[in-house]
Structure 1
């Protein structure tokens, strides 16, 4: 597994020159960015945005992109960015273990969202942007923008048709999702992203709760799992772009604006790529059989999530602020009715 991972890492790096104009001026600003995504996934979730930035910025600035775990393990991304070893990062707060009060809400905070549009509305209209800015400014990191990515479903070797089927399953998932799911007998497993496919083949893992079906097909996990559970614990992942604060402040305003625009382009791409991809592959995908846990049984998981929210909120005033926003948002959506919420 280690040898395979090193081979993939060595082959995956995307040098700045490959994404940029051939000749660079002596005073070209050069950044190194690492994403949480492996090579196959990165082709969708970050490479187009970096290519766009490098093409427009030209000799003024170039970004060299690295994939999951290439420079540092994903769990050390925050520290490396804070130190300036890496200039920018694409990740969720949870995976990169940022030492902030909002870390637990990054990635998949259970049942906080139902649809991908929920995340940008929470950040841009309900006040999460301001809280994230406050928290990251305290630790020398610039939170640039948050976006909605894929929902969180189980992809497994054995069929999941009841909560009892989850018991004892060794599952690769996010820290907070794993903490929540452990009450249902799930055993969370933490491995490097590039090792997951092999771990499924060797039996080290029984399943994956890290993405929706679009990523399962894109990164090869659909080839090593047999079943896809249609119930999800979150309708959309919350992930962000971050930068070292000093490096960010050194950029001219127009390059900061360009960077934001390219981040927004990446978020927009994911909106429709996942939304359409999830439906298309459920209907037309040949590799995994769909399974479901009955609604009345799954309702107990949703109820447990609301208790989990209160458990998290009790940990700090900032967490309480975030949970209260999530609660208000979901209450508003329920009152708005279809198509925002129903059932």
Structure 2
């Protein structure tokens, strides 16, 4: 009979502990290190003070909600690339996404002419989302951008109206002649018909250009932006007539970077774009009335309605000329005409008079 070795309590516990550790090591799966967050660089058309409203809140929300999976670094106007090179920068991957109008970022699509301030295409800010979501412009933009390699169009929303804010008073159409203003490409081409001299400058140079009399003002925004960015401090007059009721601006992304995102991050970004669109709807609608009535820095001037009608009538001629550029442009113009007619027939509050 073989004698079994005696084992005391201390030896038993030590051996049992080693065995338990060994078994645990075999049973526990390898710990996977956290993957580095996806990083995007997004540049907006807006300068720093304006970006605080038109995009930064939504990007901050995105970065918080992404919970470490993705981080978007926000850059303001011309910070990484000049505004006119913004589209190409997204296309070649220099930056991952952009917020801008199609017009001033030189998007090589025929519908880019309708970005920013296409003259008299809208009367109010709500017109823009209605046109894109309910009158077919979303599908047209998707079709147009699908023909351009490397860039995916994501969304369009509305901003403020386009009013003249100047150092010289405008009380008649004749006062527009010779006026040097910073404005958008298509809006500038239209305004040239009335003697306006469009000027293109980096956004951050506009203030100095006004102060040194290089330009007489801007046809770039409404009252909200004029006061927010400080232009109301260096100009004197605000023309209440506007050439468009709302700026139409888009979000675009590098196609490869967009398609690489998991679906839940795509959805999150779409929700944050909608959040940005919503913020601007109430911010601008509040600001336009608030600053006109309580701003106190600008004298309001108005061109009589009967005289202003000649500019509105000239816009319709401009529409027809743009419609000749491509079948797709003709389709957009047809939609704009149908929409304007519907709003007029609907009457107040859609259209007055």
Q: Runs of 4 or more off by more than 4 Å in structure 1?
A: none
Partner of 1:14: none
Q: Residue in 1 aligned with 2:195? A: 185
State whether structure 2 residue 114 is matched by structure 1 residue 105: yes
- Matched-pair contact (CA < 8 Å) for 1:25–1:59: no
DSSP-derived class of the 2:66 partner: helix
**What is residue 143 of structure 1 aligned with on the other side?**
153
1:218-257 superposed matches below 5 A:
218-257=228-267
- For residues 34 and 309 of structure 2, the distance between their equivalents in structure 1, rounded to whole angstroms, comes to 59
- Which residue of 2 is the match for residue 92 of structure 1? 101
Unaligned runs of 5+ in 2: 1-32
Shift of 1:142: 1.3
Report deviation, 1:215: 0.1
Once the two structures are TM-superposed, the CA of residue 58 in structure 1 deviates from its matched residue by 2.1
**For 1:298, which of 308, 316, 327 is the aligned residue?**
308
Change (3 A) 1:25 1:89: farther
Residue from 47, 70, 80 that aligns with 1:61: 70
Give, in whole Å, the separation in 2 of the partners of 1:78 and 1:304: 30
Cα shift at 1:141: 1.4
Using structure 2 for the length normalisation, give the TM-score. 0.90
1:27 equivalent to 2:64? Answer no
Paired residue secondary structure (1:279): helix
Q: 2:86 aligns with which of 77, 80, 84?
A: 77
Partner SS state of residue 124, structure 2: coil
**Matched residue of 1:280: which SS?**
helix
RMSD: 1.0
1:68 touches 1:74 (CA, 8 Å); kept in 2? yes
Establish whether residue 333 from structure 1 lines up as the match of residue 348 from structure 2: no
Runs of 5+ in structure 1 lacking a partner?
1-23
What is the number of equivalent residue pairs in this alignment? 320
1:267 aligns with 2:277: yes
Which residue among 47, 54, 79 is the counterpart of 1:38? 47
Displacement of 1:144 in angstroms is: 1.0
Q: Is 1:174 aligned to 2:218, yes or no?
A: no
Kindly state the Cα deviation for residue 27 of structure 1 after the two structures are TM-superposed: 2.2
- Kept in 2: contact 1:160–1:292 (CA 8 A): yes
Separation in structure 2 between the aligned mates of residue 314 and residue 148 of structure 1, nearest angstrom: 26
Give TM-score scaled by structure 1 length. Answer: 0.92
